[in-house]
Amino acid sequence: MTRFLTPLAASLPATVPFTGPETLERQQGRPFRARLGANESLFGPSPKARAAMQEAVAGVWMYADPEGHDLKAALAAHHGVTPAHLVLGGGIDGLLGLLCRLTLEPGTPVVTSLGAYPTFAFHVAGYGGALHRVPYSGDHEDPQALLDSARQTGARLIYLANPDNPMGSHHRAAVIEEMVANLPDHSLLVLDEAYADLAPDGTIPRIDPDHPQVIRLRTFSKGYGMAGARVGYAIARPELARAFDKVRDHFGMGRVAQIGALAALQDQDWLAEVRARIITARARVARITQANGLRPLPSATNFVTVDCGRDGDHARVILRETVARGVFIRMPAVAPLDRCIRISLGDDAALDVLEEVLPEAVAAAG
């Protein structure tokens, strides 16, 4: 059957950037006791969003508004931009795929960080881009190294997540603003702000929405607790935003998802409550991991990355033993970040299981 594929497609491995917990459950033959690996919000969506989605189910026989008019209007008001600055899509992952389709040809240089969010690299490979990776600086992505590499390679895209996944670190707004001021003329900054709703004050930069070299990506998956609905959006100069209409699936975001996201956006009190719960959970995960001789890293997200104190092989044993005991967690995939495990922040019931299991996993790892 590969004779029907393009040479590029035929050359790619069939892979999934993240192994889902459902896959692991099928392999183990039992469900997880606690799901703390996918950076989902165990606190769930706003009750108002749940109610709106439940009501919307009766109308699911209808296609969604392909222009997403109401949601775009609400997002525009929320961010102080116009609807023309907005693109809706199936989560940030879907928008990254569309952006790569719009901007990349085989061999087009792209710069990212070694160990950064792997789905971006997945899409770059899918359109034949030439990936250039720079190392982290400690636990942070390195804006200056990204800029230097972009100048050296002539990169069309520069990818940076702030706050960062998988390390949970963040740069202050001024650092990102300085990076934007120094972008080479040939580069578009892909600024992934998936965790912006949870970031500390002073993290989110001020960037002119009409800036011709920046596209910002946001999601309802994290703070708003709607990962399963697949609602993402981009903020970009209108000319770039309109270009997505050339390639996007105009019915790619369902009716129920649009209605739920609109209700979630209108319930900022719930988002504030989730932020407070995350701060409490973050402190508890720090206590649990420190009690087991591990070092939690500062986090600006809804997960905590935990330094296991040795190398990647040691961290992988802790990961394996934790998963085997019914707690789903993940870890960075690339050295030296792979000395860590990553634990999503959850409710008391989930963290109770973590507190029970982690000592056994660490002991098993020696």
Segment 49-65, tens digit of pLDDT? 999 999 999 999 999 99
Give the pLDDT mean for 85-105.
Answer: 98
CA 25 and chain centroid, separation: 23
Query: Is 0.85 surpassed by the pTM of this model?
Result: yes
Rounded (to 5) percent helix, strand, coil in the chain: 45, 15, 40
Quickly list DSSP for 295-356: EEPP-SSSEEEEE-SS-HHHHHHHHHHHHHTTEE-B---STTGGGEEEEE---HHHHHHHHH
Which pLDDT does position 205 carry in this prediction? 98
Q: How far apart are CA 167 and CA 307, in angstroms?
A: 10
Phi-psi region of 80 (alpha: psi -120 to 50; beta: other; left: phi over 0): left
Count, residues in the chain: 366
Q: Which residue has the tokens 């720079």?
A: 134
Domain boundaries, the chain: 7-44+269-365, 47-267
Is 3.40.50.300 the CATH classification of the domain at 7-44+269-365?
no
- Computed over its alpha carbons, how large is the radius of gyration of the chain? 20
Segment 221-258, tens digit of pLDDT? 999 999 999 999 999 999 999 999 999 999 999 999 99
Is 3.30.70.120 the CATH classification of the domain at 47-267?
no
